[in-house]
Structure 1
C-alpha cells in the first residue's frame, strides 16, 4: 500500500511511453522492501515522499521546493544544489533533498564496474534516484541530506577518483561528443579538448566567480550531436578548410541504386523510400545550391559550401570531409531566460586544434572573453546577453579578432559589422558607410 495517493501522477503512466513516475514507484518499493539489507543513511521513505510532494505540487499548481539554504562541500563553491521542501511535516523524507552533480567522463564512456560503484554509493547515502544525464552533461544524484554531502564527496574523490561537476555562477562541466574515438566525420579530437579544458580551468569550475553560468560544449563535426550551437556559451564545432573529397565512381553507384550503396548509410532499412534521386535528395536540399551533377560527374563549389553535412550524410561512401581540419568557435548560445533563446554566433571561423601547445589559440580566445564578461557582465547575465547589449563589434575588439565576412547575424543577409567613418579613406567605402548609416541601422 502506497504511503501517498497520487491520482494526478498516475495519469503520467497511462501513455505509450516510459514514465518517470513508474520508475520512482519502483524505486520507492525497492527501498521499502530493502531486500538487500542496505543501511540507508537518509530516510527510507524519501522516494515515497518525493512522489507525495510532486502530487501536491500538481494539485496546487505550484512548486513546494522552497528557496533558501546554501549547502556544499568544503573548498568547492559548486557541484551541490540545495533542495528544501516547504512541507516538511507532511513529507519528512524530503525535508532536505539535495542534488549533486558528478562530472561525466569525456564522451560519456563508462565501465560497468564504475557504474555499479556509483549506484552502490548512492543507494547507501542518497535516494538511489539518478538522472543520466543532466542538460549540462553531468551524472545527477537526486536527493540526499546535508550530513551526507561530505561523506559522498570523500568516497567519490578518494575511492572512485571522481570529481563533482559545476553548478552556480561558474564554468559548468565541459561536454563533448564521441569524436574521433568512434566517428568517421570527426575533424578534431573532442575528447582530448574536453579533457584539457576540464583540467585547465578547475578553479573556474569549482569556485564561482562569473556573472552567471558558462558552458563549453564540443562537437567534433558539423553534424552537432551535442547540439553545442544551441546549448553552450562557447561552442567548438569541427570543420575543414579544403574541398570535400569526392569518389565519382561511388557517386554513380548511388545514382544507379546499387544495393551495396544505400542512401543515408542504410538508416531507413525496413521502409521502401523508392529509388534514390540525387537531384531531389541531395542537390535540391543543398542550402547554398553549390552542387551539380552532369555527365556522371558531381561538382561542388566549395567556396560556397557551408559544411552542413547533408550530402556527406546522404552519400557517405562517395563524399568525405576534407583533410585541412580544425574547428569553428561560436559564442553566446543560451536557453530562454532573459532575452529569449539564442543560437551561437560565429566568432572564429577556423582554428587549428593543437594539443602540442596546450591549445594556445583556443585558450587565448577563452580568456579574453572571460576578462571582458567578468568586467562588464551584470549579475545573472549570460555571455550572449552581454553581446546583445554591447554589440558584436565590441566582442571583436576585446578578442582582437578582425571583422570577417563570416561575422553575420543571419547568414548572407545582415552583417554585424559597421565600419566607422575614420576607418575608411573615402570613395566607395564612404558611400557604403553613408548607406548603412541611413538604411541599415
Structure 2
C-alpha cells in the first residue's frame, strides 16, 4: 500500500541491520490514517529540523491529574489526523508479568480507539499507548479499568509508576520480594501517583539484589536495592570445581567456554576491596570488608550465594540529565529489613517527601535539592544518623569528612599501608 506522504528521510532509518521504528509505523499506517499523518509530520520535522508538536493545555481523565500526556500538532492543516495525538501511560504489572489474553485485549482496545502504536515499555516502566484524540480518553480509561482491571500510571509532578526487577519469581539472587514491595507502594500512594503535588517527578525502583537489573541507582529518586548483612554462603567443593574446569564460569553467559577458571585473575584481583583469598584449596572472604558488588557471585554462581539475613539498602537522588546533569544515587540507609507492611520504609519516605515539598523549587528533583541544601539537612529532616557509608561517589568522596590529623601518619601513610595489606 502506497503512503500518501513521501518520506525519503525516514526511509534512510530503515536501512542497515537494526530494527526500525519507521518500519513499525509504516506497518500500522496500512490500516491507520493517524499513523500515516504521523509519518508525514515526522518527515517534515526532519526536513525543517524543528519539532512540530505543541503543548495545548492540560488534558486528562476525570479525577486524575496524571497519566495522560497531551500532544497536539502545530500543523493540523497538513496533518489533520494527528491534530490530537495524546499519549496514555498505563500502570504495568509488577515485573511486567502479562497473560496473552490481557495483551490481546489491550492491543484490540488501542487499535479501536487510538493509533495502534505502543511502547512496551517506557523508561519508568509504564505501558505507553501512543496517539489518541481527546474524545477517546474517557472511553479508553473506562475500558482499561472496568474490562482489563488496569489503571493509568504517573505523569507530571507526581509519583511515577513504581517498577521492579523479576525478583524472586525467577531470580535466585533476589533478596527481596520485589513484586510485593512494588504493589504495596503503588496501592498505598494512589493520591501521590494520580494527583500531581510534588515539585517535580519522583520515582521508586526496586532491585532484588545489587546487580540492580532495573538500573535504579542511576534513575530512581529512591532506590530499594536488595542486600544481605551476614556472610556470603560458600560451597568450597563448587569453588574447586570452577578452578578445575568442571563448572563453566559466569553461568555460561555470553558464550563462555568450558574452561578452568583463573580465580586469581578473574575473581580475587577484581574484588574492589580485595577481601578474598584463595590458597589453592579454600576460598576465604572477609565479609566485614565486602561491598556486596556481586562480581564473585556472578562469576561462580554455583559456588557462592548471598547471605540469608536479607533486607535492602536505600539510596536517594538519581536522575537523568535534564536541568543540572545526571546524578547517581547516594546511600542513606545502608540496611533496612523490608518486611510487610513496610512501615519503617514508608515512615522514611513521608519525612523525605515533607522536606522536599517544603524546600524544593519548581522542577527540582530530590537529588538536586540535596545537592543544593546538603546531605546534612536531608539527614536531619529524615531523622537519620550520619554514617560513613553515606557516600557521594563510591570509595572516593564521603559526605562524612575526617581530619587527616586523626589518621596516624597522614593519608599517604594510610594509603601505602592499605596497598601493602592488600597486595597480591
- Whether contact under 8 Å (2:245, 2:258) holds in the other structure is no
Out of 284, 300, 305, the residue aligned to residue 315 of structure 1 is 300
Give 3-state SS (helix, strand or coil) of 1:348's partner.
strand
- Whether contact under 8 Å (1:393, 1:417) holds in the other structure is no
Deviation (angstroms), 1:429: 11
What's the TM-score, normalizing by structure 2? 0.94
2:372 aligns with 389
- Whether contact under 8 Å (2:218, 2:318) holds in the other structure is yes
Deviation (angstroms), 1:303: 1.0
- Whether contact under 8 Å (2:226, 2:312) holds in the other structure is yes
Whether 1:179 aligns to 2:167 is yes
Out of 55, 59, 66, the residue aligned to residue 78 of structure 1 is 66
Farther off after superposition, 315-324 or 289-298:
289-298
User: Runs of 5+ in structure 2 lacking a partner?
Assistant: 411-424
Q: Deviation above 6 Å: which 4+ runs of structure 1? A: 428-432
Deviation (angstroms), 1:295: 3.6
2:421 aligns with none
User: Runs of 5+ in structure 1 lacking a partner?
Assistant: 32-43, 420-427, 436-441
- Whether contact under 8 Å (2:245, 2:259) holds in the other structure is no
Q: Which deviations, in whole Å up to 9, do the C-alpha atoms of 1:128-175 show, x marking residues without a partner?
A: 000000011000000000000001001111111110000000000000
Give 3-state SS (helix, strand or coil) of 1:381's partner.
coil
In the TM superposition, 1:21-420 aligns within 5 A as 21-29=22-30, 31=31, 44-258=32-246, 261-269=247-255, 272=257, 275-355=260-340, 358-417=341-400
- Whether contact under 8 Å (2:65, 2:195) holds in the other structure is yes
Q: Counterparts of 1:125 and 1:27 in 2: how far apart (Å)?
A: 14
Q: Counterparts of 1:112 and 1:172 in 2: how far apart (Å)?
A: 26
What's the TM-score, normalizing by structure 1? 0.90
Deviation (angstroms), 1:287: 1.2
2:8 aligns with 7
Q: Which deviations, in whole Å up to 9, do the C-alpha atoms of 1:22-53 show, x marking residues without a partner?
A: 01101111x1xxxxxxxxxxxx4100010111
Q: Counterparts of 2:85 and 2:179 in 1: how far apart (Å)?
A: 33
Q: Counterparts of 1:228 and 1:182 in 2: how far apart (Å)?
A: 19
Q: Counterparts of 1:412 and 1:106 in 2: how far apart (Å)?
A: 33
- Whether contact under 8 Å (2:388, 2:400) holds in the other structure is no
Q: Counterparts of 1:293 and 1:334 in 2: how far apart (Å)?
A: 40
- Whether contact under 8 Å (2:248, 2:257) holds in the other structure is no
- Whether contact under 8 Å (1:243, 1:302) holds in the other structure is yes
Q: Counterparts of 2:380 and 2:405 in 1: how far apart (Å)?
A: 22
Report the aligned-residue RMSD: 1.7
Deviation (angstroms), 1:431: 7.1
- Whether contact under 8 Å (1:170, 1:204) holds in the other structure is yes
1:18 aligns with 19
How many aligned residue pairs are there?
Answer: 408
Q: Counterparts of 2:87 and 2:394 in 1: how far apart (Å)?
A: 41
Deviation (angstroms), 1:90: 0.5
Farther off after superposition, 189-198 or 302-311:
302-311
Q: Counterparts of 1:277 and 1:191 in 2: how far apart (Å)?
A: 37
